Structure 1
Amino acid sequence: MSLVALCAALYAVLGYLTYLGLFAPVIGTVRFWPSVFVPATFAVAFSPLIGGLGAAIGIFISDMAVHGNPLLSLSVGVPANFLGFYAVGAVYRLARDERRVLAGIAVELVATVLALSALYYARILDESFVVASAVALAFTVTPMVVARQSRRIVFAGSTGLMLGSAIIGVGVWAYSQFFVLPTGQAQLPAWAALVWFVWTYLTEIPFIALFVPPTVRVLEKAGLVFEE
C-alpha cells in the first residue's frame, strides 16, 4: 500500500507539473503526459498491481486538478491507466524469449506506422505531426540498440501503453457520443478514436523507453526490485 501511495503521488504531482497545455491535434482533451514513466517503473520493478493501482489513483487526482470531470476520469482515464500499466508489469514478467520480444516490438511499431500513415493520407494529420512521430519512434528504438537489457522493458511498456491508448481513444470517443467533453466538443467522428490512440502512444512511449530502463537498473543495484 505504501508503494501504491508513492506511485500515485509521484504520478499525480509530476503529471500536473509537466502538464504543458498541449492537446491532441484538432480534437483536444488527451494531454501530453511524459510522467507515464513513473507507474511503468513501479509496474516493472515491483508488481503489475502496484503499477496499475498507482496509475489509476494518480490519474484520477491529476484529472480532478486539470479538468475536474470525475465521470470522464472514472470511465476512461482510470481504467485505461490501471489496465495499461498492469499489462506493463505482467508482460515484463512473461516476455523472456529474446526473439519473441523483438518480433513483438517490430509488430507494434509497424502497426503504429500504419495507423499514422492512414491518418496522414486521409489528411487528418499533417506533415509536422509525422515528423514529430518519426522523432518519437527514433527515441523509442535507440535504447534497445544501445542496451540489450532495455528491450524487454520497452516491449512491456509498448504493449501496456498500446492497450491503455486504445482504451483512451475508444473511451473518449464513446464518451463524446453521450456527453460534452471538457473542451466543449461532442459527437466526434469515429476517426477521432484513432487520432487519440496514435497521439497518446507516440507522445508517451519515448519517455518509457528512455527513463524506465535506467531507473529500474538503479533500483536493482540498490536491492529494491521485488523478486519475480
Structure 2
Amino acid sequence: MKVKTTNVTLTALNAALYATIGYMTFLGIFTPIIGVVRFWPGVFIPAVFATLFGPWVGGVGAAIGIFISDLIIHGNALLSLTVGVPANFVMFYLIGYLTGRRMRRRTAILAAAAAIVLAVLFVAVRLPWESGEEKVWILIGIITLPLLLLMGALKGKWTLYQFASTLGNAAGSLIVGFGVWGYSQFLALPSGGSTLPIVAAYMWIAWTFMNQIPFLVLLGPPVLKACEAALPATLLRRMSE
C-alpha cells in the first residue's frame, strides 16, 4: 500500500509539472500551415519520471498532464481524450518499460539511430514541400542524430534512455499524426479544419517527432544525472546496465 501511495503521489507530481511547464514553454507555436499540434519542449519531464519510477508513473502522469494542458490551450476534451491522452500514455509507458530492461549498448545506439534516420526519410519522401518550414525539422533531425550517437558514446549509461525515448517518441508521433487526421474526418479541429488530406497526418507525425526529440535527447540525461545524486538507489534500480 505504501508503494502504491508513493506512485500515486509521483504520478500527480509528474502530471502537474508536465502540464505547467508544457504550457509555459510552448510559446504559442503550432505545426506550420495546418496548426493543432504544438511545440512541446516539456516532453522530457514525463520521460524522466518514466525512467526513474517506471512506465505507469510516466504514462499515466503524462496522460493526465496533457489532458489538463489541452483543456487550457484549445479546450477540446474529446480530441484530447481520443488522441493526446493515448499518444502520451503509450509514448511514456514505452520509455519507462524499455529503460527498465537490460539491452546491449550497441543495440540501443543502432536502434535509436535507425529510428531517427527512418523518421527523417519519411518526412523527405511523404511531405509535399510546398513551404520551407519542414526543411527546418529535417535539419533538426539530422543534427540530433550525431548528437545522440555522440552522447551514447560518451555517456554509455544514458544510451538505453536515448533509445527508449526515440522509439517512444516515434510511437507517440504516429498516434498523434494519424489520430488528429482521423478526428478531422468526422469533426472539426480547434483550428477549424476538417476532412483534411492524408498528407496532414504525415506533417503532424514529422512535426511531433522532430520538435520533441532534441529535448528528450539533450535535456533528459542531465536531469537524470542530477536526480542520480539525490536518488541513487532509484536510478541504480532503473538504469543499471
What TM bracket, shorter-length normalisation?
A: over 0.9
Asked if residue 56 in structure 1 is aligned to residue 63 in structure 2, the reply is yes
CA positional deviation for 1:210: 1.1
Asked if residue 71 in structure 1 is aligned to residue 78 in structure 2, the reply is yes
Query: How many angstroms apart in 2 are the aligned matches of 1:175 and 1:149?
Result: 40
* 1:83-107 deviation line (CA, Å, top 9, x unaligned): 1100001111225211211221122
Residue 37 of structure 2: aligned partner: 30
CA positional deviation for 1:221: 2.2
Contact 2:152 2:159 in 1 (8 A): yes
Residue 163 of structure 1: aligned partner: 171
SS at match of 1:32: coil
Find the partner of 1:181 among 180, 183, 189.
189
Alignment of 1:52-201 (within 5 A): 52-119=59-126, 122-124=128-130, 126=132, 127-201=135-209
What residue identity is the alignment partner of 2:230?
Answer: A
Q: Single out whichever of 46-55 and 141-150 deviates more from structure 2.
A: 141-150
Asked if residue 3 in structure 1 is aligned to residue 10 in structure 2, the reply is yes
Query: How many angstroms apart in 1 are the aligned matches of 2:214 and 2:107?
Result: 21
Query: How many angstroms apart in 1 are the aligned matches of 2:167 and 2:180?
Result: 20
Query: What TM-score do you get using the length of structure 1 for normalisation?
Result: 0.93
Q: Single out whichever of 94-103 and 201-210 deviates more from structure 2.
A: 94-103
Query: What TM-score do you get using the length of structure 2 for normalisation?
Result: 0.88
Query: How many angstroms apart in 2 are the aligned matches of 1:125 and 1:160?
Result: 28
Are the structure 2 counterparts of residues 9 and 210 from structure 1 closer, same or farther at C-alpha, using a change threshold of 3 Å?
same
Moved over 6 A (4+): none
Query: How many angstroms apart in 1 are the aligned matches of 2:228 and 2:29?
Result: 34
CA positional deviation for 1:159: 0.8
SS at match of 2:123: helix
Contact 1:140 1:205 in 2 (8 A): no
Unaligned runs of 5+ in 1: none
Query: How many angstroms apart in 2 are the aligned matches of 1:92 and 1:132?
Result: 24
Asked if residue 47 in structure 1 is aligned to residue 54 in structure 2, the reply is yes
Q: Tell me how many residue pairs correspond in the alignment.
A: 227
Are the structure 2 counterparts of residues 155 and 129 from structure 1 closer, same or farther at C-alpha, using a change threshold of 3 Å?
closer
Percent identity, please: 43
CA-atom RMSD in angstroms: 1.8
Unaligned runs of 5+ in 2: 1-7
Query: How many angstroms apart in 2 are the aligned matches of 1:13 and 1:91?
Result: 26
CA positional deviation for 1:132: 4.2
Are the structure 2 counterparts of residues 180 and 140 from structure 1 closer, same or farther at C-alpha, using a change threshold of 3 Å?
farther
